[in-house]
Amino acid sequence: MGYKKIEHENYTIVENDNGMILGISNAPIIEADGYAFKDLARAGTLLPFEDWRLDADTRAKDLAQRLTIEQIAGLMLYSSHQMIPSLPGGPFQAHYDGVSYPESGKHPWEMSDEQKTFLSVDNIRHVLVMKLQDASVAARWNNEMQRFAENLPFGIPINTSSDPRHGAADSGVEYKSAGADVSKWPEGIGMSATFSPEVCSQFAEIAAKEYRALGISTALSPQIDLATEPRWMRYADTFGAHIDLTIDMTKAYCDGMQTTKGKPDGWGNDSVVTMAKHWPGGGTGESGRDAHYPFGKYAVYPGDNFDLHMKPFTKGALSLDGPTKSTAAIMPYYTVSWNQDNKNGDNVGNSYNEYIIHDLLREKYGYKGVVCTDWGITGAIDQSIDSFGSRCYGVENLTEAEQHLRIIINGIDQFGGNNKKEPIVEAYNIGCETYGQDFMRGRMEESAVRLLRNIFQLGLFENPYLNPEESVKLVGCEAFQKAGYKAQLMSIVMLKNTNNCLPLKEKPKDLVSSTTCNKLKVYVPERQIKAKKNFFRRMDEAKTISPVSNQLLKEYFIPVDTPEEADVALVFLESPDTDGYSSQDLSDGGNGYMPISLQYRPYTANTARKQSIAGGDVREEFINRSYYGKTTYASNEQDLDNVITTKELMGDKPVIACITMHNPAVLAELEPYADAILVDFGVSRKAILDIITGIAQPNGLLPVQLPLNMETVEKHCEDLAFDIEPYTDSVGATYNFGYGMNWNGIISDARTKKYSL
C-alpha cells in the first residue's frame, strides 16, 4: 500500500493504492494504515468523517455532531442564483473587490465578494449556479470555490446545483439556466413526446457527466408534477398527465442521474443528486394560475384526486429501480393544497403544512432524504398581490424566524434562495424555549446529517476539483451533441399532412434552369408579440420576432420576402399566451382575476365557475377569485393571423404550421388553414427543418390532449387527467394523447400500446 502525489494548477491529486483518489488544495495529509487522508479538521489525527473507508451515513453523523448551530444553519441555506461572471445589466448583480466585474480586471472564474461572504460568514455550502460562461470558466470557478471552502472550518466542500440547462429551446416560462456548451435535448413534456424512458435515461446519464464536469453535483430536477391542468404555465417542464409514462420517465431520469456504474450503492464521482419536484404535486393550480405569485397560490382538487398526484413521487422518485433506491432530495411546491390537510385543517403553503410534510412525506411514505423548500418562501410579503415574491402563504402573521421554525419542525432541511443564517439561528433559539435545547439540537443535527450524507455520497469530501482541460473536452462533445439532437428529432409530432405535402422535395430537375438552383423558395412571416407581463411580473415591450434566421433557412431553401414569390410557406408560432391576473382590472373595480386561455382569439369566460373553489388573502377583502364573464386576449394572437393570411395569399401552395407548444392549444382556429402541422415542445429550428425536408422522419406522439375548445377546458377538473374533449380536425383525425403521424400515416407501435388511455 502507499500513495503518490500529482501536482495540478492550484491543487494536488493524491492517488491511494487500492483506495480513494484525493484532491487537496491546502489541507494537511494524514497517513493511517498506509493510506492518505485529508486532515480537514486540522486536528492532527484521523477523525471518522475524514475516513473514506467508512460509509457516508457514519461520516455524516460524526461531522454533524461536531458542528456549531451556526455552521448547521449554513448547511441549511441554499444560495441565490449565481452568475459566473456577474456582468453589468444582468440579474443577481455581484461585486469584485467592491466594484463591478469589468472594473475589477478579474478573471471570469474568480469569486465575487458576495460569494466569499456567504461561504465564510453565513457558512453556505449549497450554491445555485445559473449562468456559466463556458466549461473552462466553470471548472476553474469550481476549483476557486472549493479551495476557499477547504480552508474554512472542517473543510466542507461546495455542493453546486443547477436548474435544467440542457433544453434545446426556451420552451419553459421559468427563468432557465444558461447552457454553458452542454448538449441540447428536449426537456419535460418534449421528452415525454418521445414516449421513450430509454431516451430519458440516456439523457440523464449524459447530463450527469456534463454536470460533474462543470462542477455541478445537484440537479434541481426532474419536475414530476402530474400536469392535469393544461393552462398551468409550468406544464411544459413536466412529463405530462399520463401517470404511467410520468412514473417511468421519473425513474429513468433519477436513476440515470444518480447512478455511478460499478458502485454497489450507486453513489460515486459520476453521480448527481436529483431534487424531484414539487411535492405533493403542483399541477392543479385553480384555473391554471401558478403559485410563484400570490394570485395563483391555491391548488384545488374538485375531482378528489389528491392521491394520484403523489404517485410520481411514491411510485417513481421514492421507488427507483437502480441502486440509489430513492431520489436524494425533494422540493415541495409553493402551493396551498386546498382542503387536503386531514390532520389540522390548515390551508397554508406546503412547506408550512405539518400534515403534508411530516405526516405524509416523512412518516407515511418514510422519506429519509433531503427536503428543500422552493425558492423565497420566507420573509415579509409584498403589498401588491400582483408580485413575484410574497410566498409565505397562510403564515403571513409569523415573523421570519417563526416561519423558519415551523418549516424546520415539519421536517424540512433546507431553505431555497436564503443567503442569511440569522433567521435559522433565531428559529433555533425560539425552538429551544419552546421544545428544549436537546430537542432542537437533535432536530438540527438530523438535517445536517441528511445534507452532509449527500455531499459524502457524491465523493466531494475526497476530490471536489476539476481539470479544466478535461471538462472542455467532455462537455458538449460530439457524441453527446449527436445523442441530444437525435432525441430532439424523436420528440417532434406531426399532426397533419394533407396530400403528403411533407416532406418537402426539391424542384424537379426539368424546372431548374441554368440561372436557378433546385431549392424551393420559402416564405416565413415575422411574429408580432404585444406588450405583456413577464415571469417576474414586469412589463415586456411589444416586439417583432424573426422566428428563424435567413442563414439557417439558406441551408435548406431560398428565402423570399412575400408569399407570392414562394413555393411553400413555413409559419412558426407558439401556443397562445395569456395572463391570469390584471392589475388594471383590479383598479377598474374588478377582482383582478382573468381567464387563462388556450385559444388565440379573444376569449370570454361565459362557462367558467361563478364561484372559485379557493380564495382568501391578507391583501384581499373577498374570497371569490372567479373571472366569470371576463374576456382575455393572447399577446401572440397574430400567430393565428399569420397562418390565415399566409394561406389566403399562398392559395394552393402548401402552408406548414410549426407550433412550439408550451401548453395544449386549441387548434380549431388554425388547423383548417394549414396543409401540414408540426408540433414541438422546445427543440432547435434545425431539427424542425430536418423533419420538414425529410432528412429525418417525424416519430413523436402527443403527450397531451389538444382541447376542442375553451368550454371543455372550463368544465374539466384541475386534478383529473384526460377529462377534456379533444379536437377532431378537418380530415377526421382526433388530437388525443398518443396521436402522431409519420410519412406512412398514423403511428401505431409498441409505444402507443404501452402508454394508452
The reply to whether 438 belongs to the active site is no
**Spatial distance between the Cα atoms of 94 and 85, rounded to a whole number of angstroms:** 9
Residues 632 and 530 sit within 8 Å (Cβ to Cβ): no
**Spatial distance between the Cα atoms of 270 and 253, rounded to a whole number of angstroms:** 14
Residues 498 and 675 sit within 8 Å (Cβ to Cβ): yes
Residue 674 grid cell = 394549414
Residues 502 and 692 sit within 8 Å (Cβ to Cβ): yes
**Of these residues, 134, 255, 374, 639, which one is catalytic?**
374
Q: Around Cβ 256, how many Cβ atoms within 10 Å?
A: 22
E strands present in 157-238 = 159-162, 216-219
**Spatial distance between the Cα atoms of 730 and 721, rounded to a whole number of angstroms:** 26
H, E, C per residue of 658-698: EEECCCCCCCCCCHHHCCEEEEECCCCHHHHHHHHCCCCCC
Q: Around Cβ 113, how many Cβ atoms within 10 Å?
A: 14
**Spatial distance between the Cα atoms of 143 and 436, rounded to a whole number of angstroms:** 41
Residues 440 and 427 sit within 8 Å (Cβ to Cβ): no
> CB under 8 Å to 474, separation ≥6 — which residues?
135, 209, 210, 213
**Spatial distance between the Cα atoms of 398 and 624, rounded to a whole number of angstroms:** 25
Residues 390 and 378 sit within 8 Å (Cβ to Cβ): no
Which SS3 state, helix, strand or coil, does residue 635 take? coil
Residues 324 and 251 sit within 8 Å (Cβ to Cβ): no
- With b meaning 16 or more CB within 10 Å and e meaning fewer, what string describes 186-198? bbbbbbbbbbbbe
Residue 60 grid cell = 455524516
**Spatial distance between the Cα atoms of 419 and 273, rounded to a whole number of angstroms:** 21
Residue 223: closest CA among 234, 211, 212, 232: 234
Residues 112 and 96 sit within 8 Å (Cβ to Cβ): yes
Residue 45 grid cell = 489525527
Which SS3 state, helix, strand or coil, does residue 337 take? strand
Matching residue, cell 386549441: 666
Catalytic residues: 374
